[in-house]
Amino acid sequence: MKPFGLSYYLDFSRFEWGYWSQSDSTRNMRTDHWRRGRVVGGSGSINGMNYVRGTRADYDRWAAMGNVGWSADDVMPLFRDMERCEPGYHSPPDYSIRGDSGPLPIREVRHCHPLTNAFLEAAQAAGIPRTHDFNGAQQEGVGYGQFNQRRGMRVSSADAWLKPALQRKNLKLVTDALVHKLLVKEGKVTGVTYERDGVMHEARAGRVILCGGAINTPQLLMLSGVGDGEELQARGIDVVLHQPGVGRNLMEHPLIRPSWRVKGPSYSPTSNWLRMAGFGAKFLLTGQGPLATITEAMGFLRTSPAETVPDVHMLFSVAGAVNDDELKFYKSLKVLPYPSFSMVLDKSYPLSRGTIRLASTDPKAAPLIEPNLLGDSRDVETLVKAIRLLRRIVSKSPLTDMVMEEVEPGPHVTSEAALVEYVKARAGLAYHASGTCRMGVDETAVVTPDLKVRGLENLWIADASVMPDLISGNINAACMMIGEKLGRQLRN
């Protein structure tokens, strides 16, 4: 999926794990599709490419939890070294903060749809500040989207780091392989077993680094006997290390998609061949337009003046789409078939926590994902306040003049109770699963601040599972930073 636009037309489900969660009692017993990339580059090879670092305060919070080495002063230089801001930013980036020579190109949206510019103006009319770089000095506010793309084409971590390194003689990439478990001898990890074309193999290593993501990394640890001792024994797995923190603390940004129908054309699917040809030409000539992305602007908003930091994050999507539980195939998303936009909204610092458990000792079986996505009522309250804020934005010119009607939640959903019910009925995933092998300094932390698995020799983790709590915004950039940080640490 190099150009994002292809995902409208082609079925990429074979590059995915196809996980569905357990019914969620916090959301009317709904179940949802936990999309995860099953491809070189992982979920970063199938994601939306929105590039967000998170705030300085996010990492200072991680450090304040005892995670030495993770403060903003420690990690922001890593982000800068990773990035190469492409030409064409509306305001020149501040290169004391942003990078200009790293392996990962980051471009800003240009030549937007009129709805995007109308949204930015309306948000400011509603009292929301304009930020010229939410990855720079000020995250708060609304601004144009940034993407890890070159001329509109995806540049994933595999493109930026792995592919150039493949020429090295000491690197071998084995694809189409499923790791079954860790090899552990007397508390020391010596390698992994994996299956390829129905044949089992062993890979031995001086140092083993797990990066299977927030669902598969804890699954692999549990299959290897590392997890809650009682639960492992109940499944007949020999306990290598009793570590009840494995698979706990599952974090996800709960997400809703308030949507509006508009009078003029948006990027919604169209049968007008002339318009489609125009989109194709724009992409080929400039790398911009809906084939590169449909989320042209972003916002980090405070739902009330009492909030000290933005508590919700939103993407302005110039094609309306709503969550759809009826769709049991690979997206659980219904694109609205008429001109429309969505304000894709997620709660930045969710308090609810879910769990990953083993469903079976078969490495090919999906683990049990128990989301508990809205287990803490404060997450619901924030999303309800955020809907009111979005409605205020839409009521402002020039956006209001372009809108025909509110599609979701709908004009009649106005009371507190009705909005709470809407959130419970419709909230889904931002695909930011994280935290299931939490970094920390306490007994239930799975890794130490240097990402070493506590209680085992020779094993580190570098993926979203180590995050101690969630950052504000999308998390792929933070995952890349985590990998970069561990790489430097082990090299030294």
Ligand X SMILES: Cc1cc2nc3c(=O)[nH]c(=O)nc-3n(C[C@H](O)[C@H](O)[C@H](O)COP(=O)(O)OP(=O)(O)OC[C@H]3O[C@@H](n4cnc5c(N)ncnc54)[C@H](O)[C@@H]3O)c2cc1C
Choose the stretch contacting ligand X; rule: CB under 6 A; options: 63-71, 123-131, 420-428, 468-476: 468-476
Size of the site for ligand X (CB under 6 A): 32
Q: Which of 3, 5, 42, 320 binds ligand X (CB under 6 A)?
A: 42
The span from the CA of 299 to the CA of 344, in Å, is 10
Burial 251-282 (b: 16+ CB within 10 A, else e): bbbbbbbbbbbbeeebbbbbeeeeeeeebeeb
Verify whether residue 111 is a known catalytic residue: no
Q: How far is the CB of 46 from ligand X (least distance, A)?
A: 6
Residues 481/491, Cβ–Cβ less than 8 Å: no
Helix (H, G, I), strand (E, B) or coil at 382: helix
70 touches ligand X (CB under 6 A):
no
Which one, 122 or 251, has the nearer CB to ligand X? 251
Which tokens belong to 320? 């309306």
427 touches ligand X (CB under 6 A):
no
145 touches ligand X (CB under 6 A):
no
Q: Which of 33, 49, 144, 385 binds ligand X (CB under 6 A)?
A: 49
Q: Which of 26, 47, 139, 249 binds ligand X (CB under 6 A)?
A: 47
Which helix (DSSP H) or strand (DSSP E) does residue 379 occupy? helix 377-394
Which one, 237 or 477, has the nearer CB to ligand X? 477
Burial class (CB within 10 angstroms; exposed 0-12, middle 13-18, buried 19+) of 22: middle
149 touches ligand X (CB under 6 A):
no
327 touches ligand X (CB under 6 A):
no
The span from the CA of 145 to the CA of 108, in Å, is 6
| Positions in 159-178 near ligand X (CB under 6 A) | 177-178
37 touches ligand X (CB under 6 A):
yes
Which tokens belong to 276? 């489609």
Q: How far is the CB of 132 from ligand X (least distance, A)?
A: 20
50 touches ligand X (CB under 6 A):
yes
What is the DSSP secondary-structure string of 413-479?
A: --SHHHHHHHHHHH-EE-S--B-TT-B-SSTT-SB-TT-BBTT-BSEEE-SGGG-SS--SS--HHHH
301 touches ligand X (CB under 6 A):
no
The label of the residue with tokens 């009925």 reads 425
The label of the residue with tokens 């180590």 reads 466
Strands 321-323 and 312-317: unpaired
| Positions in 429-458 near ligand X (CB under 6 A) | 431-432
The span from the CA of 301 to the CA of 382, in Å, is 11
The span from the CA of 200 to the CA of 65, in Å, is 41
Which one, 181 or 385, has the nearer CB to ligand X? 181
Q: How far is the CB of 366 from ligand X (least distance, A)?
A: 11
| Positions in 203-232 near ligand X (CB under 6 A) | 211-214, 216, 220
479 touches ligand X (CB under 6 A):
yes
317 touches ligand X (CB under 6 A):
no
245 touches ligand X (CB under 6 A):
no
Choose the stretch contacting ligand X; rule: CB under 6 A; options: 21-29, 113-121, 296-304, 469-477: 469-477
339 touches ligand X (CB under 6 A):
no
The span from the CA of 78 to the CA of 69, in Å, is 12
472 touches ligand X (CB under 6 A):
no
Which one, 122 or 480, has the nearer CB to ligand X? 480
Choose the stretch contacting ligand X; rule: CB under 6 A; options: 33-41, 280-288, 391-399, 439-447: 33-41
What residue ranges bind ligand X (CB under 6 A)?
35-39, 42-44, 46-50, 52, 177-179, 211-214, 216, 220, 431-432, 463-464, 474-477, 479
Q: So which residues are the catalytic ones?
A: 432
